Structure formats: C-alpha cells, structure tokens
Amino acid sequence: MIEVNHVSKSFNGNVINEDVSFKFDRGILVILGPNGAGKTTLLRQIYGDLKCDKGEILIDGFKPNERRAKKLLGIMPQNAEPIFNLTVYDHIKLFAKMRGIKGNDTKIREMIKLFDLDPKKRVNNLSGGQKRKVMLTSVLALEPKYFILDEPTVGLDLESRNIIHEILIKLSKEGKGIILTTHYLEEAEKLADSVILFNRRILFDGSKEELIRKVFNEDIYVVKVGDKKLFIKKEEISKYIYLNDIEIRRPTLEELYYEFFGKSN
C-alpha cells in the first residue's frame, strides 16, 4: 500500500501542497487539477525525488528513498528523457537489467513491436513522441508493483494513447497499482477507478459516482435535447423520455470536473 500521511511542501515560501493524505493499493488512481496545482510535486514526493517538509510517505511500509521501496516502483516523470545514444532495444533492456530482471527479451520485443518502434534505432534520433514511447516501455519492462506516471500520453497520437490505455487497464486487472496525472479528461474517464481532484490539497478523493453526489448533492443525470443540456434528478427523467432527439446519460468526468472547479472557485 502507498500511504501519504499529512505531507506538505513549500518552495521559497510558496506553498505547493499542504496536509495531503490518502491511501492507495491497486487499480488506477487519476489525479486531476488545474495547471500549477502541485500534482507533479506530489508525485515527486511519492517516488522520493523531493523530500516532504512535513508528513510521511510509505511504500509498503518503506520510505520512498529506501532501496526496497524503489524496487516496488516504476516511475515516468513528466520530463523523462531516454539515455542518449542507446538503441531502443538496449535502452529498454538496460532498465530491466538495472532492476535485476532477466529473461524478458520476448516481452520487450513484443512491446517494441506494439508501439511500432525500430529496436535498432538510436533514441537520440527519435521524435519526441517516439522517445515518450521508449520511456514508457522501459518502465513497463520493470514489472513493478506500483506505477507512478506523470502525463504518460502527452504528445502521443491517438492510436498510441489507446494502446497505452489497454496496457494500463490490463495491468490494473492483474492487481497492479497505477497513479497517473493527465490533462486529457476523456483519458481520465476511460481509465480511472478512483479520482483525486487536487489544487495544493485534496479537494475530493473517491469514485466517479461519489463525485456526482459531491458536485450536485444528489443523484444526477444529463439530458441533452438538441443543443441544450440539463442536469436533472433521476425522478425527473420521465418528463423528458417522450421528446424527440433526446439523450439521457450519466454526467461525464469532464462535466463533473468543470462543475466542481467552477463551484470551488
């Protein structure tokens, strides 16, 4: 279990996050918030790149900078860059070797093929999106218990993003724990088992269904009639079902996000 207990961080007197607490074990946890909310700082605290000013973080009972904790983590920072002048295959293989993982050549080559990468091409000759794929594949090859991924699909084409989504969902079903940030709200909708809404502190921590009740204080549906969109109570649905050109559905995570931050402002 990853335990974040009342952690805070400031830089030059500016509070980046304060009194942050949550526990996480498995599934996919998506952390959402506006630019400058402190999401990246929080992830860096979790994987031990930044010390907490206050509070404590434990990875299965170990502090993030302990070797036993690091072996449990697969980390992809927002600004991750591959190691200069290695081939794609050698880069991924090196990551696995550094973690003591052997005999996974077949899996590595399968992932390289899946992401349409040339195993013999040197990483310094790759595009930004291809480098991102190499970094993510290198992290996946570590086979950690927990993944900490900061904007893992930024700059990637839709096909590559969908491949990554399928991989992460599969890993989640296998019992892995994945914490990620994203600015793609449709990505969060597709992936999230639980959501944290964050702006220097945790504003909400729970499931999408719990967020619906948090935002609206009751069970709400969306009715779209032509170009108009209404948020209605469940018992009001019968008033609209006879209309033409109508769509009745649950609110999307994107709708909830903007409703929440609009109200919190």
The verdict on 128 and 35 lying in the same domain is yes
Q: Is the separation of the CB atoms in 16 and 198 below 8 Å?
A: no
Could you give the angle at which helices 105-114 and 128-140 cross, rounded to 10 degrees? 150
Q: Is the separation of the CB atoms in 230 and 217 below 8 Å?
A: no
User: Nearest-CA neighbor of 43 among 2, 99, 96?
Assistant: 2
The verdict on 165 and 40 lying in the same domain is yes
The verdict on 253 and 154 lying in the same domain is no
pTM of the model: 0.89
The verdict on 248 and 142 lying in the same domain is no
Domain ends where: 209, 227, 253? 209
pLDDT-derived band of residue 228, with 50, 70 and 90 as boundaries? confident
What's the confidence (pLDDT) of residue 61?
A: 95
Tally of domains in the chain: 2
Q: Which of 138-142, 172-176, 238-242 has the lowest mean pLDDT?
A: 238-242
pLDDT-derived band of residue 29, with 50, 70 and 90 as boundaries? very high
What's the confidence (pLDDT) of residue 227?
A: 78
The verdict on 33 and 78 lying in the same domain is yes
Q: What is the pLDDT of residues 45-75, one digit of tens each?
A: 999 999 999 999 999 999 999 989 999 999 9
Containing structural domain, residue 203? 2-209
Non-local (6+) Cβ contacts of 238 within 8 A are none
Q: Which of 33-42, 107-116, 189-198 has the lowest mean pLDDT?
A: 107-116
